[in-house]
Amino acid sequence: MSQTISINDSQRLQLKPLEIPTKLLLGPGPSNAHPSVLQAMSTTPLGHLDPDFLGVMDEIKSLLRYVWQTENPLTIAVSGTGSAAMEATIANSVEPGDVVLIGVAGYFGNRLVDMAGRYGADVRTITKPWGQVFSLEELRTAVEIHRPAILSLVHAETSTGARQPLEGVGELCREFGTLLLVDTVTSLGGVPIFLDEWGVDLAYSCSQKGLGCSPGASPFTISPRAWEKLQRRSTKVTNWYLDMNLLNKYWGSERVYHHTAPINLYYGLREALRLVAEEGLANCWQRHQKNVEYLWEGLESLGLSMHVEREYRLPTLTTVRIPEGVDGKAIAKQLLTEHKIEVGGGLGELAGKVWRVGLMGFNSRKESVDRLIEALGQVLPK
């Protein structure tokens, strides 16, 4: 007879209902969710093929087209974190041997390099110091040299806080028969984006940053040009779970079962997108810009400086230089333990050199800035 593993009395007494302390999440993500988003996620789940849930999926598609400013028919949420949506763009667009040119100016450019290589791409890179951006002339030179099937750029580099200008890049790509793939993980919902106007062919994002939802339902879109390339593949998409040929049958008119969607996360994403639409996209962008400028003023009043040139700074994430002689990790820990405020540390080349301060979605408010600046004034060495 099998022996059952039991819980002893002391362990049983510790099994209280879950209690999580409230903290202000001003790091690179996740950000705090709006109360109505939290309420939506606690709604009773439906079946993943229930007509009412399929209606929620349709609303998500429509709202995502609005916040991305695109008319791409296949615009969906991938059931997974932003990295899953990132991999979906690579898995569906890259065939073995394809030349893929990737702009690397931070941590997530390097992640794209790794992913594309795993799918058999002939990966080429153009690089910049972390915190800088590529000019259109630099991109043109690289495209002329490498003649890539795909050019991939990070619109909002989460590791550096830099915003890559995309005006004119789509026209450049079309001149050379190249698809344009863009990372909008830290820009969607907080930074002006015009996918169709810019000629972007594939884009992905996440739910837990500018949209202010829980991670796990990640936006993905593919243009008709990129869809045609997908249909011309000589081999199946290597990743079954992320194969858009299959997912299109679930999200499209056929409604063929593919996987059990994270129902309540989709509820939250739908509500988060509704809030953006209710505020108005232009107003949402303006709010993020106004509040981040207020943040910069507060940081400068404490004698702190920013890593990225003002022209290219993100309104959603700011990299703040750690002053000489200051232990950045110790300050971040003190903010968390004493003030219940989370800020992020640097990654890669910027490790130990910057703090990453996010001001995204519901958290992009004057009150968030005031609380952070007051706390920093207390914990920073005089």
Q: Are the C-beta atoms of 346 and 354 separated by less than 8 Å?
A: yes
Q: Write the burial class of residue 44 (CB in 10 Å: 0-12 exposed, 13-18 middle, 19+ buried).
A: exposed
Three-class SS of residue 163?
A: strand
Distance between CA atoms of 381 and 322, rounded to whole angstroms? 12
Tell me: do 187 and 146 sit in the same domain: yes
Domain C-terminal end among 257, 277, 297: 277
- Residue 82's CB is within 10 A of a number of other CB atoms, namely 27
Tell me: do 236 and 287 sit in the same domain: no
Distance between CA atoms of 132 and 350, rounded to whole angstroms? 13
- Residue 236's CB is within 10 A of a number of other CB atoms, namely 10
Domain C-terminal end among 277, 300, 332: 277
Q: Give the residue from 364, 19, 53, 61 showing the smallest Cα distance to 212.
A: 364
Domain C-terminal end among 249, 277, 305: 277
Convert 337-374 to b/e letters by CB count within 10 Å (16 or more is b).
Answer: eebebbbbbbbeebeebbbbbbbbbbbbeeebbebbbe
HSE (side-chain half, CA atoms, 13 Å) at 137: 0
Task: Supply 322's token pair.
Answer: 């750690």
Helix (H) or strand (E) holding 202: strand 202-204
Start-end of H helices in the chain: 9-14, 35-41, 51-68, 82-93, 107-118, 136-146, 169-175, 195-198, 224-231, 244-251, 263-279, 281-301, 328-339, 366-379
Tell me: do 237 and 91 sit in the same domain: yes
Output the tens digit of pLDDT for each of the chain's 382 residues: 567 767 676 666 577 888 899 999 999 999 999 999 999 999 999 999 999 999 999 999 999 999 999 999 999 999 999 999 999 999 999 999 999 999 999 999 999 999 999 999 999 999 999 999 999 999 999 999 999 999 999 999 999 999 999 999 999 999 999 999 999 999 999 999 999 999 999 999 999 999 999 999 999 999 999 999 999 999 999 999 999 999 999 999 999 999 999 999 999 999 999 999 999 999 999 999 999 999 999 999 999 999 999 999 999 999 999 999 999 999 999 999 999 999 999 999 999 999 999 999 999 999 999 999 999 999 998 6
CATH number for the domain spanning 84: value is: 3.40.640.10
Tell me: do 228 and 163 sit in the same domain: yes
Domain hosting 300: range is 24-31+280-379
Tell me: do 194 and 343 sit in the same domain: no
Domains in the chain: how many in total? Answer: 2
Instruction: Give Dmax (Cα) for the chain.
Output: 74
Per-residue pLDDT at 7: 65
Residue 14 in domain: no
pTM comes to 0.95
Residue 342 in domain: yes
The DSSP secondary-structure symbol of 345 reads: E
Per-residue pLDDT at 15: 74
Distance between CA atoms of 42 and 9, rounded to whole angstroms? 31
Tell me: do 263 and 293 sit in the same domain: no
Tell me: do 250 and 310 sit in the same domain: no
Residue 285 in domain: yes
Tell me: do 95 and 204 sit in the same domain: yes
Tell me: do 234 and 303 sit in the same domain: no
Residue 295 in domain: yes
Per-residue pLDDT at 115: 98
Tell me: do 326 and 228 sit in the same domain: no
Q: Are the C-beta atoms of 215 and 206 separated by less than 8 Å?
A: yes
Per-residue pLDDT at 10: 60
Q: Give the residue from 138, 199, 188 showing the smallest Cα distance to 166.
A: 199
Tell me: do 222 and 288 sit in the same domain: no
Three-class SS of residue 379?
A: helix
Residue 7 in domain: no
Task: Supply 253's token pair.
Answer: 């008119």
Tell me: do 256 and 135 sit in the same domain: yes
Residue 134 has φ and ψ, to the nearest 5°, of: -90, 140
Residue 3 in domain: no
CATH number for the domain spanning 353: value is: 3.90.1150.10
Residue 9 in domain: no
Convert 87-110 to b/e letters by CB count within 10 Å (16 or more is b).
Answer: bbbbbbbbbeebbbbbbbbbbbbb
Q: Return the amino acid letter for 361.
A: G
Residue 276 has φ and ψ, to the nearest 5°, of: -65, -45
Residue 297 in domain: yes
